[in-house]
Structure 1
Amino acid sequence: MKIYNLRNYFLLLSFTCLLFTVSCKKKDSIGNAGMLTGADSKVWKTEKETTATGEKDKLTKEEKQQEIQFFANGSFSMRSNTQNASGKWTYDAMARNLSLQFVGSDATENFQVLNLTNDELKLQAKDGSQMVLEAD
């Protein structure tokens, strides 16, 4: 009888540990457009990038200084030391899609939103490369 109770105890302990591990795992969050812009606007800076094959892509000094600002009115501004660009953005939380339409261009950049919280934005391009941005 003692072996049976001991086996149940270990089974229960294993299940509890598994449940704890699963519940503590960081889950990706797909927030709303308000998380992207804040009340009026929010500035995001690139924290890290990976290539389409999943390898870490080292950011240059210039890339670390680049920023994108999303405004609540649907416009955005990208700035770096060498160039500026602006346009309109749309975010579809259900489709997990962020689209950027640049002024003076017919091309639209589309990204899959992998994670959106108040502090972090993780995007994936069509080629599979990923970018993590942090709110400034």
Structure 2
Amino acid sequence: MAQPAFEEIVEDFEFLEDWEDRYRHVIELGKAMDPLEDALKVPANKVDGCASQVWLFPKIDNGTFRFDGESDAMIVRGLIAVLRALYNDLPVGQVTSVDAQGELARLGLQDHLSAQRSNGVRAMIGRIREVAAEAA
């Protein structure tokens, strides 16, 4: 079972039957995030493999994983928000055991994202897992 915040997104998607509405919902999730401080938009936080500019800033506090992120593309910013709902507040040792692709499949995203966007999501998941594995 995923984090409650992610389960809420799943429920919202079940309610929104039209993909255009779901797409708008993902964008709204991204808009609701606080912007990443410019000082954190550095090469060390940049995610390679994304078509747009993406920065992820992970934080581990008392064994709890969290990250903030930013993108110059609205839909990607929304995808960051979805990943935050999936991973934030997990014990760092559990992050790598999350079946992100399986959880995201529940949203049907893979059927509606371009190949480049899908690669970018995989790159973001890879970065999240890498940071968590190093910290665990």
TM exceeds 0.5? no
TM-score normalised over the length of structure 2: 0.25
TM-score normalised over the length of structure 1: 0.25
Higher strand share: 1
Higher helix share: 2
Higher relative contact order (CA 8 A, sep 6+): 2
Larger radius of gyration: 1
